Structure 1
Amino acid sequence: MTFDAEISALTIPEQIFVWLRLNLMEIIGAIAVLVIGLVIAGLISRFVSNALTRSDKLDPSVASLLASLIKYALWVVLGVTVLTQFGVETTSIIAALGGMALAVGLALQGTLSNVASGVMILVQKPFRVGEAITVGPITGVVQQIGLFTTELKQFDGLFVMMPNNELWNKAIVNFSRHPVRRFELVVGIGYGDSMEQARQTLLDLADADERVLDDPAPQAFVNSLDDSSVGIGLRVWCSTADYVGLSWDLTEAAKTKFDEVGLTIPFPQREVTTRAAA
């Protein structure tokens, strides 16, 4: 854009009017570039979002994130292009923006670490919304996965918000990812009781429950020889959705059935001998 030195003596409103008259075509061109660029950026963003959403390989959260990043990148390119229409030297502006981005990045290291961890969680998918997980001392159902934090609901109803950085840097146990799980029950019997009878009793209980899978087949075995009891173990496989209910029911059924067939479940006892003083 051209500024005549002679207009410097004019008042500011007059200078603005002259500047607008001299650069009318550049202004119209910049506005046209801005409008057309916004329309094209919106169309590209929607197209990318729809394409990524239809993909089965990407989580909807990842698709939304990528679409937003593409939209913001197009806005930056559009802004630089519009400034170029006005004759502004964009090299220094880009350098300044780069310096600002570096300074902000150094100041927000923790926040950016959470963002990076959030992106990795969305891409790698160690858990999804609705799955039950354990991370460190926290166990709960995933409610929402964000860029900065992940929200969990514990089984006692408490709300937990964890920074993504803590989630990504710890071992994650996902209870819901696989369709089947193994349940193991150990019941102690007296040393005078029949181990074979105890094993068969537990196997009969497993066979009688429809939730227990036939493959892998249930297993009963001697698990341990303790101080006051013999531990008889039972391993069964079931659907993940049936795990909690089956564990409760089999434990109760084992105690009831052992009482019926005369198998004792001993408990630690202590004898105290009192001696008279000499």
Structure 2
Amino acid sequence: VTRPFSVGDFIESSSVSGTVLSIQILYTALNTADNKRVMVPNNHLATSHIINYSIEPYRRVDKIYSVAYGTDVQKVKEILMNIVVSNEKILEDRGVMLGVSKHNESSVDFDLKVWVKREDYFEVSYGLNEAVIEVFEEKGIEIPYPHREIRIRSEEKMQ
């Protein structure tokens, strides 16, 4: 009743994350994502924040996509929604959030939030990134990078 996780759950504490293999009297055994065995003292887990990624059946994928200033906002929103609709693993009935979230120095950021089944999280997350790159290139949408303009004045002109 008082345990925030069970064997088989994927958890994250302040210093480590992994799948719980066993919960013993003094230690909890975790397997990390890169297959390392970590023994975490239970007193550490008892006093740390713990994120349990396995307890809920759904997760939200949060993405930010940047475009160059001057890009048609409605066109970008339409492209992103078409990508969402074409991905059958995105649970549209749980809601989709999409909008301009920030004006940066070199870009306008679009915030996209979609819901997926827990087991589809990484596939959808990576798939969205790949699809956005492909469609943005196809539609001529520029993904900007920071620009710096440097002007050098010679001493002769300054005198």
TM over 0.5: yes
Which runs of 4 or more aligned residues in structure 1 lie more than 6 Å from their structure 2 counterparts after TM superposition?
none
Where structure 1 has 5 or more consecutive residues not aligned to the other structure, the ranges are 1-122
Question: Using the alignment, how far apart are the partners of 1:207 and 1:124 within structure 2?
Answer: 40
Identify the residue that residue 142 of structure 2 maps to in structure 1: 264
Q: 2:43 aligns with which of 165, 172, 194?
A: 165
Counterpart amino acid of residue 172 in structure 1: I
Question: Using the alignment, how far apart are the partners of 1:125 and 1:225 within structure 2?
Answer: 43
Question: Using the alignment, how far apart are the partners of 1:209 and 1:125 within structure 2?
Answer: 36
Is the aligned partner of 1:178 residue 2:56? yes
Q: CA deviation at 1:276?
A: 2.1
Q: Give the root-mean-square deviation of aligned CA atoms.
A: 1.1
Is the aligned partner of 1:228 residue 2:119? no
The structure with higher relative contact order (CA 8 Å, sep 6+) is 2
Structure 2-normalised TM-score?
0.94
Residue deviations 1:115-136, cap 9 Å, x none? Answer: xxxxxxxx41211111111100
Question: Using the alignment, how far apart are the partners of 2:95 and 2:104 within structure 1?
Answer: 27
Is the aligned partner of 1:145 residue 2:145? no
Question: Which structure shows the higher helix fraction?
Answer: 1
| Helix, strand or coil at the partner of 1:178 | coil
Structure 1-normalised TM-score?
0.55
Counterpart amino acid of residue 77 in structure 2: R
Question: Using the alignment, how far apart are the partners of 1:240 and 1:211 within structure 2?
Answer: 11
Counterpart amino acid of residue 13 in structure 2: V
Question: Using the alignment, how far apart are the partners of 1:268 and 1:137 within structure 2?
Answer: 33
Is the aligned partner of 1:194 residue 2:69? no
Where structure 2 has 5 or more consecutive residues not aligned to the other structure, the ranges are none
Identify the residue that residue 116 of structure 2 maps to in structure 1: 238
Identity score, percent: 33
Identify the residue that residue 80 of structure 1 maps to in structure 2: none
Q: CA deviation at 1:231?
A: 0.2
Matched pairs, number? 156
Question: Using the alignment, how far apart are the partners of 2:78 and 2:112 within structure 1?
Answer: 10
Residue deviations 1:6-62, cap 9 Å, x none? Answer: xxxxxxxxxxxxxxxxxxxxxxxxxxxxxxxxxxxxxxxxxxxxxxxxxxxxxxxxx
